Structure 1
Protein backbone atom coordinates (compact mmCIF):
# COMPACT_ATOMS: atom_id res chain seq x y z
CA UNK A 1 0.00 0.00 0.00
CA UNK A 2 1.55 3.28 -1.15
CA UNK A 3 1.13 6.64 0.55
CA UNK A 4 1.13 9.43 -2.02
CA UNK A 5 -0.26 12.90 -2.66
CA UNK A 6 -3.96 13.01 -3.51
CA UNK A 7 -4.80 13.77 -7.13
CA UNK A 8 -7.82 15.21 -8.84
CA UNK A 9 -8.39 11.90 -10.62
CA UNK A 10 -8.82 10.20 -7.20
CA UNK A 11 -12.10 12.06 -6.71
CA UNK A 12 -14.48 9.26 -7.66
CA UNK A 13 -12.50 6.62 -5.77
CA UNK A 14 -12.56 8.74 -2.60
CA UNK A 15 -16.24 9.63 -3.06
CA UNK A 16 -17.09 5.93 -3.40
CA UNK A 17 -16.23 5.21 0.26
CA UNK A 18 -17.10 8.60 1.78
CA UNK A 19 -20.63 9.15 0.45
CA UNK A 20 -22.05 7.17 3.36
CA UNK A 21 -19.45 7.75 6.06
CA UNK A 22 -22.03 8.06 8.85
CA UNK A 23 -25.08 6.08 7.68
CA UNK A 24 -26.98 6.55 10.94
CA UNK A 25 -26.61 10.36 10.96
CA UNK A 26 -28.65 12.94 9.03
CA UNK A 27 -25.56 14.96 8.13
CA UNK A 28 -23.61 13.59 5.18
CA UNK A 29 -19.87 13.69 4.60
CA UNK A 30 -18.58 16.89 3.03
CA UNK A 31 -15.67 15.29 1.17
CA UNK A 32 -17.42 14.03 -1.99
CA UNK A 33 -18.89 17.47 -2.70
CA UNK A 34 -15.78 19.60 -2.14
CA UNK A 35 -12.92 17.23 -2.96
CA UNK A 36 -11.52 19.19 -5.97
CA UNK A 37 -11.33 22.43 -3.95
CA UNK A 38 -10.32 20.64 -0.75
CA UNK A 39 -7.09 19.23 -2.14
CA UNK A 40 -5.98 22.58 -3.54
CA UNK A 41 -4.11 25.26 -1.63
CA UNK A 42 -1.38 25.21 1.00
CA UNK A 43 -1.90 21.77 2.51
CA UNK A 44 -0.68 18.18 2.36
CA UNK A 45 -3.35 15.66 1.38
CA UNK A 46 -2.33 12.01 1.33
CA UNK A 47 -4.09 8.90 0.12
CA UNK A 48 -3.27 5.28 0.82
CA UNK A 49 -3.24 3.74 -2.63
CA UNK A 50 -4.00 -0.01 -2.56
CA UNK A 51 -3.69 -0.36 -6.33
CA UNK A 52 -7.25 -1.00 -7.43
CA UNK A 53 -8.77 1.14 -4.66
CA UNK A 54 -8.03 4.08 -2.39
CA UNK A 55 -7.75 2.70 1.15
CA UNK A 56 -7.77 6.01 3.00
CA UNK A 57 -7.27 9.75 2.88
CA UNK A 58 -6.22 12.51 5.29
CA UNK A 59 -5.13 16.13 5.13
CA UNK A 60 -2.89 18.45 7.16
CA UNK A 61 -2.94 22.27 7.01
CA UNK A 62 -0.60 24.75 8.69
CA UNK A 63 -2.68 27.27 10.67
CA UNK A 64 0.30 29.24 11.97
CA UNK A 65 4.08 28.93 11.98
CA UNK A 66 3.92 26.28 14.72
CA UNK A 67 0.35 24.88 14.59
CA UNK A 68 -0.81 22.12 12.26
CA UNK A 69 -4.39 20.95 11.76
CA UNK A 70 -5.22 17.37 10.74
CA UNK A 71 -8.60 16.74 9.14
CA UNK A 72 -10.57 14.63 6.70
CA UNK A 73 -9.30 11.29 8.00
CA UNK A 74 -11.34 8.61 6.24
CA UNK A 75 -10.57 4.91 5.86
CA UNK A 76 -12.23 2.72 3.27
CA UNK A 77 -14.32 0.16 5.24
CA UNK A 78 -12.68 -2.66 3.27
CA UNK A 79 -9.28 -1.66 4.73
CA UNK A 80 -10.13 -0.90 8.35
CA UNK A 81 -8.01 -2.58 10.99
CA UNK A 82 -4.88 -2.56 8.82
CA UNK A 83 -3.20 0.52 10.30
CA UNK A 84 -4.12 2.83 7.42
CA UNK A 85 -5.13 5.72 9.71
CA UNK A 86 -1.92 5.45 11.72
CA UNK A 87 0.30 5.43 8.62
CA UNK A 88 -1.48 8.43 7.10
CA UNK A 89 -1.45 10.41 10.34
CA UNK A 90 2.21 9.86 11.14
CA UNK A 91 3.21 10.75 7.59
CA UNK A 92 1.31 14.01 8.04
CA UNK A 93 3.02 14.55 11.40
CA UNK A 94 6.40 14.32 9.64
CA UNK A 95 5.27 16.79 6.98
CA UNK A 96 4.05 19.19 9.67
CA UNK A 97 7.37 18.95 11.54
CA UNK A 98 9.18 19.81 8.34
CA UNK A 99 7.04 22.97 8.10
CA UNK A 100 8.02 23.97 11.65
CA UNK A 101 4.95 22.74 13.53
CA UNK A 102 5.31 21.94 17.24
CA UNK A 103 1.75 20.73 17.70
CA UNK A 104 -0.89 19.10 15.50
CA UNK A 105 -4.56 19.24 16.43
CA UNK A 106 -7.72 17.60 15.20
CA UNK A 107 -11.45 17.67 15.94
CA UNK A 108 -13.87 14.77 16.39
CA UNK A 109 -17.63 14.93 16.88
CA UNK A 110 -18.46 13.67 20.37
CA UNK A 111 -20.94 11.13 18.98
CA UNK A 112 -18.29 9.50 16.79
CA UNK A 113 -17.10 7.02 19.41
CA UNK A 114 -15.00 4.81 17.08
CA UNK A 115 -13.07 7.87 15.85
CA UNK A 116 -12.54 9.06 19.42
CA UNK A 117 -10.76 5.81 20.23
CA UNK A 118 -8.81 5.82 16.98
CA UNK A 119 -7.69 9.41 17.51
CA UNK A 120 -6.19 8.49 20.88
CA UNK A 121 -4.58 5.35 19.47
CA UNK A 122 -2.73 7.15 16.67
CA UNK A 123 -1.09 9.72 18.95
CA UNK A 124 -3.51 12.50 19.95
CA UNK A 125 -4.40 13.55 23.51
CA UNK A 126 -7.53 15.39 24.75
CA UNK A 127 -7.20 19.17 24.46
CA UNK A 128 -10.56 21.00 24.62
CA UNK A 129 -14.33 20.62 24.50
CA UNK A 130 -16.54 23.16 22.74
CA UNK A 131 -20.13 23.60 21.68
CA UNK A 132 -22.02 25.97 19.37
CA UNK A 133 -24.36 28.60 20.81
CA UNK A 134 -26.87 29.74 18.20
CA UNK A 135 -28.53 33.09 19.01
CA UNK A 136 -31.02 34.29 16.38
CA UNK A 137 -29.94 37.33 14.29
CA UNK A 138 -31.96 40.38 15.34
CA UNK A 139 -31.42 43.92 13.98
CA UNK A 140 -33.29 45.39 16.95
CA UNK A 141 -31.41 43.55 19.70
CA UNK A 142 -30.33 45.88 22.51
CA UNK A 143 -27.35 44.80 24.64
CA UNK A 144 -28.35 47.03 27.55
CA UNK A 145 -24.69 47.46 28.50
CA UNK A 146 -21.85 49.32 26.80
CA UNK A 147 -20.29 47.36 23.92
CA UNK A 148 -17.04 48.40 22.20
CA UNK A 149 -15.17 47.10 19.17
CA UNK A 150 -11.70 47.75 20.63
CA UNK A 151 -9.49 44.71 19.90
CA UNK A 152 -7.07 45.31 22.77
CA UNK A 153 -9.98 45.39 25.18
CA UNK A 154 -11.16 42.09 23.68
CA UNK A 155 -7.68 40.66 24.17
CA UNK A 156 -7.60 41.57 27.86
CA UNK A 157 -11.13 40.23 28.35
CA UNK A 158 -10.00 36.97 26.74
CA UNK A 159 -6.75 36.63 28.70
CA UNK A 160 -8.58 37.20 31.99
CA UNK A 161 -11.40 34.76 31.19
CA UNK A 162 -11.76 31.24 32.53
CA UNK A 163 -12.65 30.22 28.97
CA UNK A 164 -9.07 30.82 27.88
CA UNK A 165 -7.79 28.58 30.66
CA UNK A 166 -10.31 25.84 29.92
CA UNK A 167 -9.62 25.88 26.18
CA UNK A 168 -5.85 26.25 26.34
CA UNK A 169 -6.07 29.56 24.50
CA UNK A 170 -7.86 28.01 21.50
CA UNK A 171 -10.62 29.60 19.44
CA UNK A 172 -12.09 29.18 15.97
CA UNK A 173 -9.46 29.72 13.28
CA UNK A 174 -9.96 32.71 10.98
CA UNK A 175 -8.81 30.99 7.78
CA UNK A 176 -9.63 27.29 8.03
CA UNK A 177 -13.25 26.35 8.67
CA UNK A 178 -13.97 23.81 11.40
CA UNK A 179 -10.50 24.30 12.87
CA UNK A 180 -9.21 25.90 16.06
CA UNK A 181 -5.91 27.62 16.74
CA UNK A 182 -4.36 29.84 19.40
CA UNK A 183 -6.15 33.17 19.58
CA UNK A 184 -3.68 36.07 19.45
CA UNK A 185 -3.92 39.81 19.89
CA UNK A 186 -3.13 40.17 16.18
CA UNK A 187 -6.10 37.90 15.33
CA UNK A 188 -8.39 40.28 17.18
CA UNK A 189 -6.87 43.34 15.53
CA UNK A 190 -7.47 41.76 12.13
CA UNK A 191 -11.04 40.96 13.12
CA UNK A 192 -11.61 44.57 14.16
CA UNK A 193 -10.47 45.69 10.70
CA UNK A 194 -12.10 42.97 8.60
CA UNK A 195 -15.12 41.51 10.43
CA UNK A 196 -16.22 42.48 13.96
CA UNK A 197 -15.05 42.54 17.56
CA UNK A 198 -17.57 42.77 20.41
CA UNK A 199 -16.60 43.59 24.00
CA UNK A 200 -18.99 44.21 26.90
CA UNK A 201 -17.09 46.83 28.88
CA UNK A 202 -19.45 48.36 31.45
CA UNK A 203 -18.08 48.09 35.02
CA UNK A 204 -15.06 46.26 33.68
CA UNK A 205 -14.31 43.98 30.75
CA UNK A 206 -17.05 41.41 31.22
CA UNK A 207 -17.56 39.58 27.90
CA UNK A 208 -16.06 39.28 24.43
CA UNK A 209 -16.48 37.68 21.03
CA UNK A 210 -15.38 38.25 17.44
CA UNK A 211 -16.80 37.30 14.05
CA UNK A 212 -14.50 35.10 12.00
CA UNK A 213 -16.63 34.83 8.84
CA UNK A 214 -20.03 34.92 7.23
CA UNK A 215 -20.90 32.68 4.31
CA UNK A 216 -23.63 31.00 2.28
CA UNK A 217 -24.53 27.42 3.10
CA UNK A 218 -26.46 25.36 0.58
CA UNK A 219 -28.68 22.45 1.63
CA UNK A 220 -31.67 20.52 0.32
CA UNK A 221 -34.19 23.22 1.23
CA UNK A 222 -32.26 26.16 -0.17
CA UNK A 223 -29.48 28.51 0.91
CA UNK A 224 -28.87 30.11 4.30
CA UNK A 225 -26.30 32.68 5.37
CA UNK A 226 -24.32 31.95 8.52
CA UNK A 227 -22.27 34.25 10.74
CA UNK A 228 -19.63 32.43 12.81
CA UNK A 229 -17.98 33.78 15.95
CA UNK A 230 -14.61 32.49 17.12
CA UNK A 231 -15.40 32.33 20.81
CA UNK A 232 -17.91 33.65 23.29
CA UNK A 233 -16.98 34.24 26.91
CA UNK A 234 -18.73 36.20 29.69
CA UNK A 235 -18.40 36.73 33.44
CA UNK A 236 -22.07 36.70 34.46
CA UNK A 237 -25.60 36.37 33.08
CA UNK A 238 -26.06 40.11 32.56
CA UNK A 239 -22.84 40.30 30.52
CA UNK A 240 -23.80 37.13 28.63
CA UNK A 241 -27.19 38.60 27.74
CA UNK A 242 -25.50 41.76 26.45
CA UNK A 243 -22.96 39.78 24.43
CA UNK A 244 -25.56 37.60 22.73
CA UNK A 245 -27.63 40.69 21.91
CA UNK A 246 -24.57 42.33 20.34
CA UNK A 247 -23.91 39.16 18.34
CA UNK A 248 -27.55 38.97 17.23
CA UNK A 249 -27.42 42.56 15.99
CA UNK A 250 -24.05 42.13 14.27
CA UNK A 251 -25.24 38.97 12.51
CA UNK A 252 -28.35 40.77 11.26
CA UNK A 253 -26.18 43.58 9.89
CA UNK A 254 -24.35 41.14 7.59
CA UNK A 255 -27.62 39.54 6.49
CA UNK A 256 -27.14 36.26 8.36
CA UNK A 257 -30.03 33.85 8.82
CA UNK A 258 -28.23 31.89 11.52
CA UNK A 259 -25.28 32.20 13.86
CA UNK A 260 -22.71 29.89 15.37
CA UNK A 261 -20.72 30.95 18.42
CA UNK A 262 -18.06 28.67 19.95
CA UNK A 263 -18.45 28.39 23.72
CA UNK A 264 -16.63 26.15 26.20
CA UNK A 265 -18.34 22.85 26.93
CA UNK A 266 -18.98 23.40 30.63
CA UNK A 267 -22.10 23.20 32.76
CA UNK A 268 -21.92 26.95 33.38
CA UNK A 269 -21.48 28.16 29.80
CA UNK A 270 -23.96 25.76 28.23
CA UNK A 271 -26.66 26.27 30.87
CA UNK A 272 -26.12 30.06 30.70
CA UNK A 273 -26.69 29.94 26.93
CA UNK A 274 -29.86 27.93 27.49
CA UNK A 275 -31.07 30.30 30.23
CA UNK A 276 -30.42 33.30 27.99
CA UNK A 277 -32.30 31.60 25.15
CA UNK A 278 -29.23 31.78 22.96
CA UNK A 279 -29.67 28.18 21.83
CA UNK A 280 -27.00 25.50 21.66
CA UNK A 281 -26.05 22.56 19.47
CA UNK A 282 -27.19 19.18 20.71
CA UNK A 283 -23.69 17.76 21.16
CA UNK A 284 -20.19 19.11 21.81
CA UNK A 285 -17.09 18.76 19.66
CA UNK A 286 -13.81 17.42 21.05
CA UNK A 287 -10.41 18.84 20.12
CA UNK A 288 -7.29 16.66 20.36
CA UNK A 289 -3.61 17.63 20.20
CA UNK A 290 -0.38 15.78 19.42
CA UNK A 291 2.92 17.12 20.72
CA UNK A 292 5.14 16.86 17.65
CA UNK A 293 8.27 17.21 19.76
CA UNK A 294 7.47 13.94 21.56
CA UNK A 295 9.05 10.65 20.51
CA UNK A 296 5.74 8.78 20.54
CA UNK A 297 4.49 10.81 17.55
CA UNK A 298 7.41 9.57 15.46
CA UNK A 299 7.11 6.28 13.61
Structure 2
Protein backbone atom coordinates (compact mmCIF):
# COMPACT_ATOMS: atom_id res chain seq x y z
CA UNK A 1 0.00 0.00 0.00
CA UNK A 2 1.46 3.35 -1.07
CA UNK A 3 0.29 6.79 0.08
CA UNK A 4 1.34 9.82 -1.94
CA UNK A 5 0.20 13.33 -2.73
CA UNK A 6 -2.45 13.59 -5.40
CA UNK A 7 -1.39 14.80 -8.86
CA UNK A 8 -3.29 16.35 -11.76
CA UNK A 9 -2.96 13.09 -13.69
CA UNK A 10 -5.01 11.29 -11.01
CA UNK A 11 -8.15 13.26 -11.81
CA UNK A 12 -9.42 11.19 -14.75
CA UNK A 13 -9.12 7.81 -13.02
CA UNK A 14 -10.73 9.02 -9.78
CA UNK A 15 -13.43 11.09 -11.45
CA UNK A 16 -14.43 8.10 -13.61
CA UNK A 17 -15.21 5.89 -10.59
CA UNK A 18 -16.83 8.37 -8.19
CA UNK A 19 -20.47 7.68 -9.01
CA UNK A 20 -19.86 3.91 -8.89
CA UNK A 21 -18.13 4.19 -5.50
CA UNK A 22 -21.20 6.03 -4.19
CA UNK A 23 -23.67 3.42 -5.41
CA UNK A 24 -24.84 5.47 -8.38
CA UNK A 25 -25.27 8.80 -6.58
CA UNK A 26 -24.15 11.72 -8.76
CA UNK A 27 -20.97 12.75 -6.96
CA UNK A 28 -18.62 13.49 -9.86
CA UNK A 29 -19.86 17.07 -10.24
CA UNK A 30 -18.82 17.77 -6.64
CA UNK A 31 -15.14 17.11 -7.31
CA UNK A 32 -13.65 19.48 -9.90
CA UNK A 33 -10.14 19.03 -11.25
CA UNK A 34 -8.92 22.14 -9.42
CA UNK A 35 -8.43 20.04 -6.27
CA UNK A 36 -5.96 17.82 -8.13
CA UNK A 37 -4.09 20.81 -9.53
CA UNK A 38 -4.09 23.43 -6.76
CA UNK A 39 -4.23 21.44 -3.50
CA UNK A 40 -1.66 18.69 -3.98
CA UNK A 41 0.17 19.37 -0.71
CA UNK A 42 -3.01 18.66 1.25
CA UNK A 43 -4.56 15.91 -0.89
CA UNK A 44 -3.61 12.25 -0.89
CA UNK A 45 -4.17 9.00 -2.74
CA UNK A 46 -3.58 5.40 -1.63
CA UNK A 47 -2.69 2.84 -4.28
CA UNK A 48 -1.73 -0.80 -4.38
CA UNK A 49 -0.49 -2.62 -7.47
CA UNK A 50 -1.87 0.12 -9.73
CA UNK A 51 -5.32 0.16 -8.16
CA UNK A 52 -6.73 3.21 -6.38
CA UNK A 53 -7.85 2.25 -2.88
CA UNK A 54 -8.89 5.72 -1.75
CA UNK A 55 -8.22 9.44 -1.90
CA UNK A 56 -8.70 12.62 0.11
CA UNK A 57 -8.91 16.19 -1.21
CA UNK A 58 -8.40 18.89 1.38
CA UNK A 59 -7.02 22.38 1.80
CA UNK A 60 -6.08 25.06 4.30
CA UNK A 61 -8.68 27.75 4.88
CA UNK A 62 -7.56 31.10 3.52
CA UNK A 63 -10.04 32.91 5.78
CA UNK A 64 -9.70 30.98 9.04
CA UNK A 65 -5.95 30.58 9.52
CA UNK A 66 -6.23 27.85 12.17
CA UNK A 67 -8.53 25.66 10.08
CA UNK A 68 -8.09 22.98 7.44
CA UNK A 69 -10.97 21.52 5.46
CA UNK A 70 -11.56 18.12 3.88
CA UNK A 71 -13.63 18.65 0.76
CA UNK A 72 -13.87 15.03 -0.36
CA UNK A 73 -12.78 11.59 0.78
CA UNK A 74 -13.55 8.38 -1.03
CA UNK A 75 -12.67 4.72 -0.58
CA UNK A 76 -13.01 2.01 -3.19
CA UNK A 77 -15.93 -0.16 -1.96
CA UNK A 78 -13.74 -3.30 -2.23
CA UNK A 79 -11.41 -1.86 0.43
CA UNK A 80 -13.79 -0.30 2.94
CA UNK A 81 -13.40 -1.04 6.66
CA UNK A 82 -9.67 -1.70 6.17
CA UNK A 83 -8.34 1.58 7.56
CA UNK A 84 -7.95 3.36 4.21
CA UNK A 85 -9.98 6.44 5.18
CA UNK A 86 -8.35 6.58 8.62
CA UNK A 87 -4.91 6.48 6.99
CA UNK A 88 -5.84 9.28 4.60
CA UNK A 89 -7.13 11.42 7.45
CA UNK A 90 -3.97 10.69 9.44
CA UNK A 91 -1.83 12.10 6.62
CA UNK A 92 -4.11 15.14 6.40
CA UNK A 93 -4.02 15.72 10.17
CA UNK A 94 -0.21 15.53 10.07
CA UNK A 95 0.11 18.15 7.33
CA UNK A 96 -2.49 20.33 9.05
CA UNK A 97 -0.58 20.23 12.36
CA UNK A 98 2.73 20.87 10.59
CA UNK A 99 1.18 24.04 9.19
CA UNK A 100 -0.24 25.24 12.52
CA UNK A 101 -3.83 24.29 11.72
CA UNK A 102 -5.60 23.35 14.92
CA UNK A 103 -9.06 22.47 13.59
CA UNK A 104 -10.15 20.21 10.74
CA UNK A 105 -13.64 20.54 9.32
CA UNK A 106 -15.60 18.36 6.91
CA UNK A 107 -19.18 17.90 5.76
CA UNK A 108 -21.39 15.09 4.53
CA UNK A 109 -24.92 14.58 3.37
CA UNK A 110 -27.39 13.45 6.06
CA UNK A 111 -28.23 10.41 3.91
CA UNK A 112 -24.64 9.17 4.19
CA UNK A 113 -24.99 7.29 7.47
CA UNK A 114 -21.69 5.45 7.02
CA UNK A 115 -19.82 8.74 6.67
CA UNK A 116 -21.49 10.15 9.79
CA UNK A 117 -20.57 7.03 11.77
CA UNK A 118 -17.00 7.01 10.47
CA UNK A 119 -16.34 10.66 11.28
CA UNK A 120 -17.66 10.18 14.80
CA UNK A 121 -15.47 7.08 15.24
CA UNK A 122 -12.30 9.02 14.40
CA UNK A 123 -13.09 11.84 16.81
CA UNK A 124 -15.05 14.41 14.86
CA UNK A 125 -17.99 16.05 16.59
CA UNK A 126 -21.08 17.29 14.79
CA UNK A 127 -21.56 21.06 14.83
CA UNK A 128 -25.04 22.11 15.94
CA UNK A 129 -27.20 23.17 13.02
CA UNK A 130 -30.62 24.68 12.55
CA UNK A 131 -32.57 21.44 12.05
CA UNK A 132 -32.43 17.69 12.63
CA UNK A 133 -32.82 14.79 10.25
CA UNK A 134 -33.26 11.37 11.83
CA UNK A 135 -31.71 12.62 15.07
CA UNK A 136 -28.66 14.21 13.42
CA UNK A 137 -28.10 17.96 13.54
CA UNK A 138 -27.93 19.51 10.06
CA UNK A 139 -27.40 22.90 8.47
CA UNK A 140 -30.30 23.42 6.07
CA UNK A 141 -29.72 24.76 2.58
CA UNK A 142 -25.96 24.63 3.23
CA UNK A 143 -25.15 23.98 -0.41
CA UNK A 144 -28.23 25.74 -1.79
CA UNK A 145 -31.22 24.12 -3.45
CA UNK A 146 -32.33 22.65 -0.13
CA UNK A 147 -29.10 20.70 0.31
CA UNK A 148 -28.79 20.08 4.05
CA UNK A 149 -25.37 19.03 5.34
CA UNK A 150 -23.88 17.57 8.50
CA UNK A 151 -20.88 19.67 9.59
CA UNK A 152 -17.98 18.03 11.43
CA UNK A 153 -15.20 19.55 13.51
CA UNK A 154 -12.10 17.99 15.08
CA UNK A 155 -9.27 19.59 17.04
CA UNK A 156 -5.90 18.18 15.93
Pick aligned residue for 1:288 from 138, 152, 156: 152
- Given that residues 108 and 116 in structure 2 are in contact (C-alpha distance below 8 angstroms), is that contact kept between their aligned partners in structure 1? yes
Partner of 2:27: 28
- TM-score scaled to structure 1, two decimals? 0.44
Q: Which ranges of structure 1 fall in alignment gaps of 5 or more residues?
A: 133-171, 173-177, 179-259, 261-279, 293-299
Aligned residues: 144
- Given that residues 21 and 75 in structure 2 are in contact (C-alpha distance below 8 angstroms), is that contact kept between their aligned partners in structure 1? no
**1:7 Cα deviation after fit:** 1.6
Partner of 1:60: 58
Q: Give the 5 Å matches for 1:164-183.
A: none
Partner of 2:70: 70
- TM-score scaled to structure 2, two decimals? 0.81
Larger radius of gyration: 1
Question: RMSD of the alignment, in Å?
Answer: 2.1
Q: Which ranges of structure 2 fall in alignment gaps of 5 or more residues?
A: 130-138
**1:114 Cα deviation after fit:** 1.0
| CA-to-aligned-CA distance 1:34-87 (integer Å, 9 cap, x gap) | 23x222225511001112211000022111320110121000112111100000
- Given that residues 13 and 53 in structure 1 are in contact (C-alpha distance below 8 angstroms), is that contact kept between their aligned partners in structure 2? no
User: Which of 91-100 and 10-19 deviates more?
Assistant: 10-19
Q: Flag the structure with more relative contact order, 1 or 2, with Cα contacts below 8 A and sequence separation at least 6.
A: 1
Query: Quick one: distance in 2 between partners of 1:125 and 1:114?
Result: 15
Query: Quick one: distance in 1 between partners of 2:27 and 2:5?
Result: 25
- Given that residues 59 and 92 in structure 1 are in contact (C-alpha distance below 8 angstroms), is that contact kept between their aligned partners in structure 2? no
| CA-to-aligned-CA distance 1:241-285 (integer Å, 9 cap, x gap) | xxxxxxxxxxxxxxxxxxx4xxxxxxxxxxxxxxxxxxx72x621
**1:108 Cα deviation after fit:** 0.8
Partner of 1:91: 91
Partner of 1:9: 9
1:121 lines up with 2:130 in the alignment: no
Pick aligned residue for 2:37 from 40, 57, 65: 40
